[in-house]
């Protein structure tokens, strides 16, 4: 049985919640771990197992404030794995959340959406400071 992954965010790693019972996968925070490959290895392995018996609908929610180049490469690899799931006839959607005032994150979402053959929603949100 595939495990539910829940990782708390840290200063340089994102919070990750991947629930095989709901098909909802969420990445939040910042991503610039010192060893990107080692940090994301459990995520890649989880997806490989999940692909064998996915939920009727898989939702990937990305709400990252910042990520470095090494993280962007592994994120593309992860997105490509979900794209394969979609191309195999599964219902998959990627929701890319970005702050309304962050043109770089908006542009990055646009670039990913053009690279992937996958339902891709770009969702702006307002950052409110209290």
Residue boundaries of the structural domains of the chain: 5-125
pLDDT digits (tens, 9 = 90+) for 82-115: 999 999 999 999 999 999 999 999 999 999 999 9
φ/ψ region of 89 (left if φ > 0, alpha if ψ in -120 to 50, else beta) reads left
Strand partners, 95: 61, 121
Taking the alpha carbons of 12, 17, 20, 23 in that order, is the dihedral positive or negative?
negative
What percent of the chain is predicted at pLDDT more than 70? Answer: 98
Residue 110 pLDDT: 96
Query: What Cα–Cα distance (Å) separates residue 93 from each residue in 41, 56, 57, 77?
Result: 22, 12, 8, 16
CATH among 3.30.450, 1.25.40, 1.10.3210, 3.30.750 for 5-125: 3.30.750
Total-model pTM? 0.93
- The predicted model gives 42-71 an average pLDDT of 97
Q: Which residues contact 24 (CB under 8 A, 6 or more apart)?
A: 17, 18, 58, 59, 61
């Amino acid at each position: 049985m595939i495990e539910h992954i829940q990782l708390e965010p840290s200063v340089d790693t994102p919070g990750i919640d991947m629930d095989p019972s709901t098909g909802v996968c969420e990445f939040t925070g910042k991503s610039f771990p010192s060893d990107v490959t080692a940090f994301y290895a459990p995520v890649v392995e989880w997806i490989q197992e999940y692909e064998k018996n996915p939920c009727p609908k898989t939702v990937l929610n990305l709400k990252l404030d910042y990520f470095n180049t090494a993280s962007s490469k592994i994120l593309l690899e992860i997105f490509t794995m979900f794209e394969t799931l979609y191309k195999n006839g599964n219902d998959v959607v990627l929701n890319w959340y970005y702050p309304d005032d962050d043109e770089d994150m908006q542009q990055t979402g646009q670039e990913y959406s053009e690279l992937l053959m996958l339902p891709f929603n770009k969702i702006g949100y307002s950052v409110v400071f209290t």
